[in-house]
Structure 1
C-alpha cells in the first residue's frame, strides 16, 4: 500500500514520527499535502520498556533487546523513502530510566535519527495537539485523558491550545506490575489500583474541575480497548460510568490475567487491561466525567503536527521563551542587545566552526533568557537562571534542548562550567563550548547599555578567538575593554585564548 501511495504521489513530501512509549513503540508515516498531514501507514509493536525497569530504575537487557528488534523493523521499513522530516520521541520509561543513555545511543545507531526524551507536560501538549486535529474545529473546551504504559496525561484545551497540562505517575504497565504482579485478579487488588490512581489525581482535581470542559475525549491503548470492547458487545462506543462498572464486574470474574478475554480486545492488551480500566475509572470518578469518546489522535500524530507547525514558523518554543521572559521580568531591551550581538558574532564564525541554524536558534534562546535568574537574586544569578530552566516544564523543548539551554545560561558569565559538558559526546561538548563563547562575548558587548553596534570583526580557530574593534571605539569604551580582560582570564582557564585589539 505504501509503495503504491509513494508512486502515485511522489511529488508530496513524506514525514514520520516514532513514539517510544512505555508499553508500545509506534511508527506513523504521513504525507504533507497542501499543508495537511495525511497518514499513509502505521506500525506498532508491544515492547513494554516500563516492565523492564528494576528497583534501581535500570532498563533490563531483555527489555532493551525487545526495543532494538522493533526499531530494526522500523528502520528497514523507512529505508528507500525520502523524508522531509523524521522525529523520534521517548516518554515515561526513558524519562525514568537511569540507563536511558545506553538505550538512546543504540536506538540512534539503528534508526539514524536523534532520539528526544520529552518531559511529561511536553508529552501532554503533543498528545493534545494530536487529539485536537481529529476533532471539530470549534470553540468548545475539551478534556483529554491519555493512559500510557508508565504515565497518564490530562489536558484541558480549546481548539488547538492547551490550557492545563499534567502528567501523572500512573500507567497500565507499571500498575499491572505493582498491583497484579502475580497475575491474580480480585476485588482487593483492583480497588488498590483504583485508589492509588485516585491519590495521584488529588493533585489536579480542584484545578481541572474549576476550569471545566464540555467534551471528554480519551486516547491511546487503554481507552481504545474499552471503546472497542463496547462496540464488539453491541453497545455504544461512548464510554460511560455504567459501561465501566459492567466491564469491571466481568474483569473480576476472570480471576487471573491470563484468562482475561473480551470481544474486541487484542491479545497483547489482555494482561494490562485491568490496570488500565482501574485508572480510567479513577479518572471518571475524580473528575466527575459522565461520558467519554475515543480519539484516534495521540502522541505520534501530535509530533507530526508539531513538526508541520515548526515548518510554518509556528514554533511553540518561541512562545515558551517569551513566557519565561515575562514570568521572570527580563529586561527586553537588554535581551535584544545580547541577541543582536550574539547573531553578529555567530554569522562571523559559523562556517569556520561548523555551526548550523539549529545552533543559532539555541544561541538566540539563551541570549533572551540568560538573565531570568535576576528575578531571584543578583548574586550568582546565572546559576539561578540555569536552575529555573533545568527544573521547569518548557513546552516544545525536549530534554536535550532544555539541558543545553541551561548550560549556556549557567556559563554565560563568571567561571565556565566545563564539568557540565563532560557528560556530552565530544562533538556536542565542542559545539556547546563554542556557543558559550559567543554568548559570553555578546553579554560583555551588551553591558554598556549602548544600542549602537560598532563595526567589529571576529576570527576564530579551534582554541583562539580574536576580536577587532575600531581604535576610536576602544578608547570610548574603557569599561568594555576591562570586562574583556576579565573574560580573557576566564577563557584561559577553560583552555581558550581571547585577544582584543
Structure 2
C-alpha cells in the first residue's frame, strides 16, 4: 500500500447535528494528535422548527436535509467505521425524530446516532481536554448549545461530573424574546429561568470545585469575539465584559437589529438567549473568568473514534462497570462470550459481520446478558433490557443502548423480531443475527461450566443455520439436546431454520 493510500485510510470524520448548526470536520491522526483537514458548518436552527408538541416542522427538516446533502459529497467513499454522525438536543426532543433520521440517513449515506445529554457532555469534555495543556487540577467546562447546555468537571482527560440542562441559545431566544423584541425585562426573565435550571447542579458542582473555567462552542466563542472586537480584552470573558455586552445588546430593539462586530451574522439572532444563559452561569456558579477552547463535540467524537481502538475505550469500561454493579456471574459471562465469538468467527463472511466492531457488540451482549438476575429470575432478560435501555451508558448512543438492550432482551425464550424495529434500518438485520449467535451460545452453556462444551461447526445461509457436533456428543448430553430442540422451535417462529447434527 502506498503512503498516500495509507493516509487516506486513516482519514476520519465527525458530523455534529446540533440544535442551532450542523458541523462537519474531517481529520486524520498525526503523531499522537489530530490534524484537521477540513471544517464546514451551516446554520440550520433545527430547534427553531420544534413546535409546542415537540414535532419537527417540514421546513426545519428540509434545511437539515439540504445541509447533509452537501456534507454527503465530502464524505463519499469514507469507511463507515471512521465516520461518526451525532445528533443532540433538538433530535432528542423531537417526537418525529425517526422520520427525519430515516430521510437524513438516505441523504448522508451513514447512520445517525442520537446521544444523551450526558454523553454529549462527555464528548465535549474530551474535545476540550485535548486542546488544553495536560496539567493537573480540576477544570469546569461549559458549552452553551442551541437547545441544551452541558457542564463538566474533569481533570486531565477524565470527566468527573457530567450534566446537561434543557436551556440553549435558540430555545431561550424563542421563549423569552417574543417576536424577536429585546427588552430589559425579557433579558432578566431569561436570566432568572436559567438560574432556576442551574439550581439542579449548583450544590454538587460547587462541592466538587475547580481551578479554572473553560467555555466551548458558538455562544461563548461569539461573546469572546465581540469582546475582542470592542477592544476590551485580547482573550477570555469576565464579569465586567458580560455587563458591557448586556448593555450593548439592550441597545437593540429586536434580534434582527443586532449588529455587533466579531459576531457572525448567522449567530446574531440567537446570541441574546445565549448571553442570558452565560450571565446566569457566571452568577450562579460564582465564575469570574472563562477562557474559550476550540475543542467541542465534533473534536471529542474524533478522539472517541481513536479511543475505541485503544485503552481509552470508554464503552469497555462501562460494560465492565455495569457487570460489576449488577453482580454478574463473570465466569458464566466469559463462557458465553467465548462461545459466541467462536461461532461468530465461523459466519462472519456469510452473514456480513466482518466490519463495524460486530464482535465487540456480541461480546458486550454476552457479558451483560444476565444483569437482570440482580433483580429477579422471572423474566430477567426483560429486566436486563430495561436496565440497559434506561441507564446512562457513557460511550453509547441512544440507538446503541437500544441495540444492546435488544440483544439482552432476546437472548432467551421467544424471539420477537418486531422488537428490533427500534434499531436503525441499516443495522437491524446485523443485530438480529448477533442475537441468534448469542442465543446459541447461551443454550450451549446452560450447564454453567459443569462439563466441557465443544464449539460446534456452524454454517449459515441467510436464515438457514446448521450446527454440527462431534460424534455422539449430543447423545451423551441429553439436556443440551433438549434445549437445542426447544431453541429450534423458538427460531422457527422467527423465520430461521435450525438444523442440528452429531
Tell me the residue number matched to 2:271: 273
Of 292, 295, 298 in structure 2, the residue corresponding to residue 297 of structure 1 is 295
Q: Does the 8 Å contact 2:143/2:150 carry over to 1?
A: yes
SS in structure 1 at match of 2:466: strand
Change in 2 beyond 3 A, CA 1:425/1:390: closer
**Cα offset for 1:173?**
0.4
Q: Which residue of 2 aligns with 1:464?
A: 464
User: In the alignment, which residue of structure 2 is the partner of 1:410?
Assistant: 409
Indicate the residue corresponding to 1:14 in structure 2. Answer: 11
Checking the alignment, whether the CA contact within 8 Å between 1:219 and 1:296 is kept in structure 2 is yes
State how far apart, in whole Å, the 1-side matches of 2:227 and 2:200 are.
31
**2:393 matched to 1:369?**
no
* Residue in 2 that maps onto 1:497: 497
Q: Once the 2 structures are TM-superposed, how far is the Cα of residue 426 of structure 1 from its aligned partner?
A: 6.3
Find the counterpart in structure 1 of residue 254 from structure 2.
256
Q: Distance in 2 between matches of 1:13 and 1:352?
A: 27
C-alpha displacement at 1:332, in angstroms?
0.9
SS of the counterpart of 1:280? Answer: helix
Q: Output the CA distance in 1 between the equivalents of 2:434 and 2:191.
A: 49
**What's the CA shift for 1:477?**
2.8
* RMSD, aligned α-carbons: 2.4
SS of corresponding position for 2:180: coil
Decide which moves more: 247-256 or 190-199: 247-256
Q: Distance in 1 between matches of 2:489 and 2:92?
A: 38
For residues 284 and 395 of structure 1, what CA distance do their matches in structure 2 show?
28
Q: Which residue of 2 aligns with 1:3?
A: none
How many positions carry a matched residue from both structures?
Answer: 496
**1:399 match:** 398
Distance of 1:425 and 1:243 partners within structure 2: 46
Q: Out of 303, 319, 323, which is 1:325 matched to?
A: 323
Q: Is the 8 A contact 2:342 2:455 kept in 1?
A: no
Assess if the C-alpha contact under 8 Å between 1:385 and 1:409 holds in 2.
yes
Q: Pick the aligned partner of 1:182 from 165, 169, 179.
A: 179
- Residues 283-324 of structure 1: CA distance to partner in whole angstroms, max 9, x if unpaired? 122222221111111111111111122244532111111111
Q: Report if aligned partners of 1:91, 1:118 keep a CA contact under 8 Å in 2.
A: yes
Partners of 1:79 and 1:459 in 2: CA distance: 34
- Partner of 1:18, secondary structure, is strand
Determine helix, strand or coil for the equivalent of 1:414: coil
**1:346 match:** 344
TM-superposed CA distance for 1:414, in Å, is 1.3
Aligned partners of 1:441, 1:11: CA distance in 2, in Å? 39
Residues 426 and 150 of structure 1: is their aligned pair in 2 closer, same or farther, counting only changes over 3 Å?
Answer: closer
Distance 1:427 1:82 in 2: 15
Which moved further from structure 2: 133-142 or 286-295? Answer: 286-295
- How far the C-alpha of 1:390 sits from its partner, in A, is 0.7
Measured in 1, the distance between the counterparts of 2:8 and 2:69 equals 27
Give 3-state SS (helix, strand or coil) of 2:348's partner.
helix
Q: 1:12, 1:32 within 8 Å by CA — same for their partners in 2?
A: no
Compare 287-296 and 487-496 and name the one that shifted more: 487-496
Compute the displacement of 1:353 (Å): 1.9
When normalised by structure 1's length, the TM-score is 0.93
- Structure 1 CA distance for aligned equivalents of residues 7 and 479 of structure 2: 60
Residue 22 of structure 2: SS of its match in structure 1?
Answer: strand
- Going from structure 1 to structure 2, the CA distance change for 1:324 and 1:91 (only over 3 Å counts) comes to same
Q: Describe the SS at the equivalent of 1:333.
A: helix
Q: Cα offset for 1:442? A: 0.8
- TM-score, normalization: structure 2? 0.93
Distance change (3 Å), C-alpha of 1:138 and 1:426: closer
- Alpha-carbon shift at residue 21 of structure 1 (Å): 0.7
Deviation at 1:439, TM superposition (A): 0.7
The answer for the alignment partner of 1:477 in structure 2 is 477
